[in-house]
Amino acid sequence: MNFYIDKLLLWLKDGSLRTLKFSNDKVNVITGNSKTGKTAVLEIVDYCLCGSKDTVVISYEHIGENVAWYGIRFVINNKTYTVARGEITEKGKFSDDYYFSQTGEIPDEPCTKMDESGIKAILEPEFSINDEITLAYGGKSIRKNTRLSFRYFLIFNTLSKDIIDNGKSFFDKMHIDRYRDVWPQIFDLSLGVISCETIKLQKKINDLEQEISTLELEKKKYSRKIELHNNDIQMLVKKAKEKGLVDEKLGADEAFKALEVMVKNGITNYSTNFSVQQEYEKLQLEREGVALQLTKLKRFEKSYNNYRESLRDEADALRPISYIQQEFGDKTQGEYRQFINNLANELTRVKAAIKEKRPFEYDVERSIQALNKQLKMLDGNLSRTAHVEYSPISTAEKLISLGEIRAEYNRLDPNVEGTDTIDAQIKEKSSSLAALEGQYSEIEEARGLVINTLNEFIQIYIGISENALDEYGKYHAWFDYKKAMLTLKKNMSATVANISSSSDHLFMHLCLFAGLHHMMLSENTSYVPSYLIIDQPSRPYFNTSDYNYEESEKAISIKDDWSKVKDIFKLWDNFFSITTSKGWHFQVIMLEHVSKNAWSNCNHINLVETFDGINNALIPLNYKNPEPEEK
C-alpha cells in the first residue's frame, strides 16, 4: 500500500494553525530536548486514525489544553485526504467529531462532517478491508467471523518509547486482548500467508463446523428423546406382563407388538403368564453373582489397605533410626552398629513397599469400577423387567389394567423415529469439512516458508548493524510467530540467545521492523501502510533527560555508545538506499533528542524541525490562550 503523511496539523484555540511538513522516501527527524511535544506526534497520528483511549495518550497539559482540532494530511494509493478530529477534554474524553476532505483541503477552521464510522467506511476500502475480511481464528475477546478493522494493521507502523528497547514486547498495543487475539491473522494477511480466498475457505470451514456441532447437539437431544420413549414402552410392556395381558416369556419387541394389537382390538387371547424361569429371575441371579464378586473385591481392597496402613505405622516407629544413624553412626561399632544398620535397611524396605503400587492394585481398581458399572446396568434392567407373581388374575382386573395401559399408550409420541437422517447429514457435512481442511492444511507449510523468508530479510539489517549488536552481530534472526517477537541464535544452534542488553533489544526491534517492511514492500501488501513512526530510539544510551540535545554526543560518556546512535541512522539510511533503488516508497518519522552529528554521513534524512524548548516546540512557545479584549 502506498501511504505517507504529508502534514501534521494542529488548529490551536487562538485560531492559528501549527503545521509540520514531512517528506516521503526519507527519515523525517524531529529532534530536540525533552518535554517539547515530540512523542505527541506519534499519538496525534494514531488519534486522527480513529484511535481509542486504550491506544492513545495525549497530555492535556501543554498539548490538549491548547488544541481545538488535531489533523493529518496524507496520501494513500495516490489519493490525498485530510482527516481532523476534535479536541480532547480536560477529563480525557475523546471527540466523536471528524472533519474529512477527499481532496486534501486544509480548512481555516475544521467543522464536523462525519463520525468515526463514516471515516472507517472511507479508509477501510483503501486498506483492502471489506465484509469478506473477517476474523477466521477467533479469540477470547473477539469472535470468529468478526469484520477486521484497518486499525489492527497499524501495529506494524509504530515503535513507541514503551517497547523500543523492550526485550519481551516487539509490537505496540499487544497488551490489549483484542490485538493479541487478531495477531495471527494480521500477520498472515500482511505477509501473504493467507488471502481473501483463504478467509472465505476458513469461513466455510467455520460454518460447517457450526452446522455439524448443531446437528450433533440435535442428535443428542433426539437420542435422549428416543431413550425416554423406549423406556416408556418398556414400562408399558412390564405392566402388561405383570397384569397377565402379555406372556412373560415374550421378548421386548414381540411383547410390544402384542400389546399394540390388544390396545387397538381389545383382549382376544389371555396370557398363561407362567414361565419355568422368568427373565426377572435370571437378571436377579446375575445381579447377585456380580454383587458377590464386588463384595469380595472390596473386602480384599480393605484388607490390603489395612496392611499398607500397618506399614506406615511401622515406618513411623522406625523413623528415629535415620536420625540416630546420622548423628551417632560414626560413634557406634560392633553388634550395636549392625543392629542400627539392620533397622535402617528395614525402614528403607518399608518406605519402598509403601511407595510402590503393584500391578494387581490397578487390576483390583479396574475390576471394581467394571463391576459397579455392570451392577448399575443390571439394576436398570431389573426396574424395566416384569416380575410376575404366580397367582391368577381376574378378567375384570385385566380389563382395568388394559384401560390404564391404553391411556398411557395413547400419550406416547407417534413421531419418534431413529437418528438415521441426522447421521446421514453429519456424515455428508463431515466429508465436506475434511475436504476443505485438506486444502487449508497447506497454510501451516506456507507460514513456515514465509517466516523463513522474513528471517532472511531481517538478517540483511542484522548484517548492517553487526557492530552495534556486538557479540550478537554474527547471530541469525529467528522470528517467533506465536510470541510475536524476534530472537537471535547462533548458526547451527537449536537454542536462542538470552539477551539482556537494552541496546541489543533496540537494534533487534529496528532490524525486525526494517525486515518486515522490506518484505511487505517486496510483496506489495495492500493491508499495511508504508510508513513507520519511531519514538526516541537512542533512549538506551541516555541516563537522564536533563541535557541539551546539541550536546548529546558529549552526554554519552562511553564513546562506543555514540557510534551506536549513528548506527541507528545508518540502518535506516541503508534501508532507503535499498528500497528507493527498487522504486519502492516508504516513510519514516523519527522522534529523537540527538544532534545533527548523528546522521551527518547519511543521504536519506530530512530534518523536519528542532524542538529545543527555547525557540521552538510542538506548541509554539509564544502561544497564549486567547483572552477577552478589554473595553
**Residue closest to 525 by CA, chosen among 584, 595, 474:** 584
Query: Does the residue 271 lie in any domain?
Result: yes
pLDDT band at 555 (very low <50, low <70, confident <90, very high): low
Residue 69 bridge partners (DSSP): 11, 86
C-alpha cell at 364: 483390583
Domain membership flag for residue 28: no
Pick from 314, 344, 316: which is nearest to 329 by CA?
344
Neighbours of 574 (CB within 10 A): 19
Confidence of residue 552 (pLDDT cuts 50, 70, 90): low
Q: Report the pLDDT averaged over residues 536-550.
A: 74
Percent of the chain with pLDDT strictly greater than 90: 50
Domain membership of residue 34 (yes or no) is no
Torsion 238-244-248-249 (CA) sign = negative
| Least confident span in 164-168, 332-336, 393-397, 492-496 | 332-336
Interval 243-263 mean pLDDT:
79
Alpha-carbon distance of 209 to 207, in angstroms, equals: 5
pLDDT at 488: 96
Number of domains in the chain: 1
Question: Which range has the worst mean pLDDT, 109-118, 133-142, 169-178?
Answer: 133-142
Rounded CA-CA distance 168/171 in Å is: 10
Are 384 and 234 in contact, with CB atoms under 8 Å apart?
yes
Q: Which residue has the higher pLDDT, 319 or 44?
A: 44
What pLDDT, on the 0 to 100 scale, is given for residue 631?
Answer: 35
| 302: containing domain | 222-309+344-410
Residue 309 backbone dihedrals phi, psi, to 5 degrees = -65, -35
Quote helix, strand, coil % in the chain, to nearest 5.
50, 10, 35
pLDDT of res. 628: 42
Residue 528 lies in a domain: no
Query: Which of 79-83, 277-281, 306-310, 392-396 has the lowest average pLDDT?
Result: 277-281
For residues 578 and 518, the answer to whether their CB atoms sit within 8 Å is yes
Q: Is 296 within the bounds of a domain?
A: yes
Task: Give me the chain's average pLDDT, please.
Answer: 87
Residue 272 CA to residue 305 CA, distance in Å, equals 53
| pLDDT band with cut points at 50, 70 and 90 for residue 602 | very high
Grid coordinates standing for 23?
A: 517528506
Distance (Å, rounded) from C-alpha 66 to C-alpha 17? 11
Reduced to 3 states (helix: H, G, I; strand: E, B; else coil), residue 266 is: coil
Other Cβ atoms closer than 10 A to 549: 20
Q: Is the per-residue pLDDT at 280 higher than 80?
A: no
43 lies in a domain? no
| Local confidence band at 73 (pLDDT 50, 70, 90 cut-offs) | very high
Residue 442, pLDDT above cutoff 90? no
On whether residue 293 sits in a domain, the answer given is yes
Q: Are 364 and 301 within 8 A, CB to CB?
A: yes
Question: Span 236-259, mean pLDDT?
Answer: 79
- Check residue 626 and give its pLDDT: 65
In degrees rounded to 5, what are phi and psi of residue 8?
Answer: -105, 135
CA distances from 408 to 48, 260, 403 (A): 72, 12, 9
- Return left, alpha or beta for 172; rule: phi > 0 is left, psi -120 to 50 is alpha, else beta: beta
Element (H, E) at 609: strand 605-611
**549, pLDDT greater than 80:** no
**Residue entry with cell 477467533:** 138
**pTM over cut 0.75:** no
